[in-house]
A and B are shown apart, each in its own frame.
Chain A
Amino acid sequence: MRHIISVLLENEPGSLARVVGLFAQRGYNIDSLTVAPTEDATMSRLTLVTHGNDQVIEQITKQLHKLIEVVKLQDLSESAHVERELMLIKVKATSNEQRDEVKRCADIFRGQIIDVTAKTFTIQVVGTSDKLDAFIEALKGSAIIEVVRSGVSGIARGEKTLAL
């Protein structure tokens, strides 16, 4: 099953390497990973998407917890949460027909065209990973030139928090 694990990490040199290394050493999967400092610059927040059976996920959270620099963590998928991912996608758009089609599609997915040239459109789309997958699928007819995705960021709904 797919899990989204949120980690508060000491913002120290090498701490990210330790998290990534753990996944490599123990043969766990990383589907996506995002990391940036929080409002407190001494701490980073990391969102990690992984998959595995319950036993594997339990080991992943326990092993992450064992890392000295991990302050706190939470398996977001265990309760109500919001997840978002940002994608920038560059497509070929030369003919009028093609340009209209891409624009329509972007509108449907509430994407924004953030860069335009005579031959290309660059579109920004935000949503769940599924939505971004669907957008790529919808544009398959057009020539996709380049895709860049941020990886998932997530936060628990309501009162539940992951903070000091």
Chain B
Amino acid sequence: MTSQNTKTEMLSGAAMVIRALADEGVEYLYGYPGGAVLHIYDALFQQSKVKHVLVRHEQAATHMADAYARASGKAGVVLVTSGPGATNAVTGIATAYMDSIPMVVLTGQVMSHLIGEDAFQETDMLGISRPIVKHNMSVRRPEDIPYLIKKAFYIAQSGRPGPVVLDIPKDMTMPNERYPYQYPETIKLRSYNPTAAGHPGQIKKAVTALLKAKRPVIYAGGGVIMGQAAEELTELARKLNYPVTNTLMGLGAFPAADRQFVGMLGMHGSYEANMTMHHADVILAVGARFDDRVTNNTKKFCPDATIIHIDIDPASISKTINAHIPIVGLVKPVLSAMLAQLEQKKAQPDTQALATWWQQIDGWRTVHGGRYDSDTPVLKPQAVIEAVSRITKGEAYVTSDVGQHQMFAAQYYQFNKPNRWINSGGLGTMGFGLPAAMGVKLNYPDADVVCVTGEGSIQMNIQELSTCKQYGLGVKIINLNNGYLGMVKQWQDMNYESRYASSYMDSLPDFVKLAEAYGHVGIRVTKPEELEPALEKAFAHKDQLVFLDIHVDPKEHVYPMQVPGGAINEMFLSKTKRT
């Protein structure tokens, strides 16, 4: 940065965009050029600090940036052109918005004087993106660019994170018009000031309620991951010896291998997690939002529970489920304050009640316990995930698409660390998995990065195999190929007497040849005994993308599955058994 003594630098709007990103510490920019952003691309070309990744479709750029944010906690950055470039980014922006992921999306726009005239490649990106962003802004004067970029990062990354769109009309980036450049170090807004620490009185109340509990449970969500509070959460849970369940977004917030972990809860949560929740007398909800895939019927939700709810977003508290002890604040400082109070109080939880509670939970563990029919000649998708988990020791970054394979990955991969499980939980975006894996692999080149997908989802962004080749992204694709849109088929089996309306995937490509055509390694697995050797071989290719096309049982369903309209403890446990 320029020191105060030196003369202020004069830069064009385009150069300011790139320079501001560099000053913000951005290493990678994911994008696709086009008319409205050509000045910016030219500025990008003339420096080497910010590196650009050229995707094959703008949606992939947003997912790459999004996955980088999920793995690192820092905002990912996207650059796309106006019109179709911007609209192609919409699905990725909505994906990030639903999961509260920090992202800064720079969209090109037609020249200011053409706005509103239906100019070539003009769309009202501010209008289009308004419902799916934390905030959006437009550049009106080139000299505002550094401030607006700082503001975008500040808003995206503070409070409850989310995507911010900055729309840049082409005439704001003219290469020959120069303006003084200074990147602000901090920013203060009179209208935006998110709370950080929780209310001390509320925290005290929460600790007292927690210690009085006879059947407690800790329900931790994505807020713990994005709030970088997995350590505090784990410490608190261990100190109290309370059971922990994670949401789909919260997997890894508490180690799956720990005895206190009862599994994921919700629609496809474990039997023991859902039972523990239903019978709890105190629920400590941390960075979770009681979403409909968790609560099932809200009227029947956890009838005996006193609910303590920690969340950075006041609007998430008592939105669907009334919280008895709400705490608005960042989960990290709030959990730290709770730990400090526990320390100070020297009070102990009710060990006797807790022993009885654990006995009951351990009993529930024996009921279903994630069992599936493994004694078959056809390969089971669950077995594939278990094998991947074993081989990668639960330490890989696992991205997924959406459907049965996503639920199998969530259920059977043992996530012991936060930020390792990367999936589109809120929006449920098919096509997310491969670009997400690419975003992680690019930033963590030494880590194992696995994309668990299906033959339906993978084809939604299959073109990115080309980007992988260009940037040498050695992700491992686990394609659970059952020839059907598995989750759609499962619902059709359960609710539509197996009328498979458009859920059969006819005319699938030969994925092995396809991978090879893009310059990668393809391996097909059709029998159970081929699985382990194929996985060993795939992970041995450190720097190469390996596409494992694994043919799995098309008849398999995901269980447990909550009974529609029921309480959280009402589940189908197999095709023939329900609670």
Task: Evaluate contact between A10 and B315: CB separation under 8 angstroms.
Answer: no
Q: Contact: A17 with B127, CB < 8 Å?
A: yes
A70 close to B (CB within 8 Å): yes
Is A63 an interface residue, CB under 8 A from the partner? Answer: yes
Asked if A10 meets B191 with Cβ closer than 8 Å, knowing A58-B318, A59-B315, the reply is yes
Contacts of A68 in B (CB 8 A): 134-135, 155, 189, 191-192
| Min CB–CB distance B288 → chain A (angstroms) | 17
Task: For chain A, residues 2 to 40, give those with C-beta under 8 angstroms from any C-beta of chain B.
Answer: 10, 13-14, 17-18, 21, 25
Measured between beta carbons, the chain B residues less than 8 angstroms from A62 are 314-315
A7–B140 CA distance with the chains assembled, in angstroms: 25
B interface majority secondary structure? mixed
Taking the closest CB of chain B, its distance from the CB of A26, in whole angstroms, is 9
Given contacts A13-B138, A58-B318, A59-B315, contact A25 B131 (CB under 8 A): yes
A164 within 8 A of B: yes
CA distance A70 to B191 in the complex (A): 6
A83 an interface residue at 8 Å Cβ cutoff?
Answer: no
Q: Could you tell me the distance between the alpha carbons of A37 and B189 in the complex, rounded to whole angstroms?
A: 19
Nearest-neighbour CB distance to chain A for B567, whole angstroms, equals: 21
Cβ contact within 8 Å between B319 and A59? yes
A57 within 8 A of partner (CB): no
Complex: chain A residue closest to B164, CB-CB: A68
Q: What residue of chain A has the Cβ atom nearest to residue B316's Cβ?
A: A62
CA distance A25 to B129 in the complex (A): 12
Interface membership of A55, Cβ < 8 A = yes
- Contact at A66–B319, with CB atoms within 8 Å? no
A10, A65, A68 interface centre (most CB from chain B within 10 Å)? A68
Chain B 149-200 interface residues, beta-carbon cutoff 8 Å to A: 155, 189-192
A69 an interface residue at 8 Å Cβ cutoff?
Answer: yes
Taking a contact as CB atoms closer than 8 A, the residue among A55, A58, A59, A69 that contacts B191 in the complex is A69
The reply to whether A65 and B126 form a contact with Cβ atoms under 8 Å apart is no
* Interface residue A144 (Cβ < 8 Å from any Cβ of B): no
Interface residues of B in 125-155 (CB under 8 A from A): 126-127, 130-131, 134-136, 138, 140, 155
Closest to B322 in A: A55
Chain B residues positioned under 8 Å from A10 (CB to CB): 191
A86 at the interface (CB under 8 A from B): no
For residue B138, which residues in chain A have a CB less than 8 angstroms away from its CB? 13-14
With contact pairs A25-B131, A68-B155, A69-B191 given, residues A14 and B318 touching in the complex (Cβ less than 8 Å)? no
Chain A residues in 8 Å Cβ range of B190: 71, 164
- Bin chain A's interface residue count: 10 to 19
- Quick one: given A68-B155, A68-B192, are A55 and B131 in contact (CB under 8 Å)? no
- A18 touching B130, Cβ below 8 Å: yes
Docked CA distance A53–B231 (Å):
40
Contact B134 A63 (CB under 8 A): no
Number of B residues contacting the other chain (C-beta, 8 Å)? 19
Q: Is B23 an interface residue, CB under 8 A from the partner? A: no
- Distance A18 CA – B314 CA, assembled complex (angstroms): 19
B553 touches A (CB below 8 Å):
no
Closest to A164 in B: B190
Indicate whether A71 sits within 8 Å of B315 (C-beta atoms), given known contacts A13-B138, A21-B130, A25-B131.
Answer: no
B235 interface hit (Cβ, 8 Å): no
- A69 to B314: give the CA distance in the assembly, Å: 17
> When chains A and B are docked, how far (Å) is the Cα of A55 from the Cα of B323?
12
Q: Which of B554-576 contact A (CB under 8 A)?
A: none
Taking a contact as CB atoms under 8 Å apart, the answer to whether B191 and A17 are in contact is: no
Least CB distance, B292 to chain A, in whole angstroms: 15
Inter-subunit contact A66/B191 (CB<8 Å):
no
Q: Contact: B315 with A21, CB < 8 Å?
A: no
* B313 interface contact, C-beta 8 A: yes
Q: For the complex, what is the distance from the CA of A28 to the CA of B135, rounded to whole Å? A: 20
Closest A residue to B194 by beta carbon equals A66
- In the bound complex, how far is the Cα of B193 from the Cα of A66, in angstroms? 10
Task: Give CA–CA (A13, B116) in the complex, Å.
Answer: 14
The CA-CA distance from A97 to B140 in the complex, in Å, is: 59
User: Residue of A at shortest CB range from B189?
Assistant: A68
What is the distance, in angstroms, from A17's C-beta to the closest C-beta of chain B? 7
Distance A17 CA – B155 CA, assembled complex (angstroms): 19
Determine which of A17, A55, A63, A70 lies in contact with B318 in the assembled complex, contact meaning CB atoms within 8 Å. A55
CA distance A164 to B193 in the complex (A): 14
Q: How far is A99 from B127 in the complex, measured between Cα atoms in Å?
A: 49
Bound-complex Cα distance A71 to B313 (A): 16
Q: Which B residues touch A58, using CB under 8 A? A: 318
Contacts of A63 in B (CB 8 A): 315
A28 to chain B, nearest CB (A): 13
Q: B286 → chain A, closest Cβ, in Å?
A: 19
Within 8 A of B (CB), among A46-72: 55, 58-59, 62-63, 65-66, 68-71
Q: Are B126 and A21 in contact (CB under 8 A)?
A: no
B92-110 vs A, CB cutoff 8 Å, 1 = contact: the mask equals: 0000000000000000000
Told that A10-B191, A58-B318, A68-B192 touch, could you supply 9 new A-B pairs with CB distance under 8 A?
A: A14-B126, A17-B130, A21-B130, A25-B131, A62-B315, A66-B315, A68-B189, A69-B191, A71-B190
Closest 3 CB pairs of A and B: A62-B315, A71-B191, A68-B135
Binding site for B on A (CB under 8 A): 10, 13-14, 17-18, 21, 25, 55, 58-59, 62-63, 65-66, 68-71, 164
Residues of B within 8 A of A (CB): 126-127, 130-131, 134-136, 138, 140, 155, 189-192, 313-315, 318-319
> What are 12 A-B pairs with beta-carbon distances under 8 A?
A13-B138, A14-B126, A14-B130, A17-B127, A21-B130, A21-B131, A58-B318, A59-B315, A62-B315, A68-B134, A68-B155, A70-B191
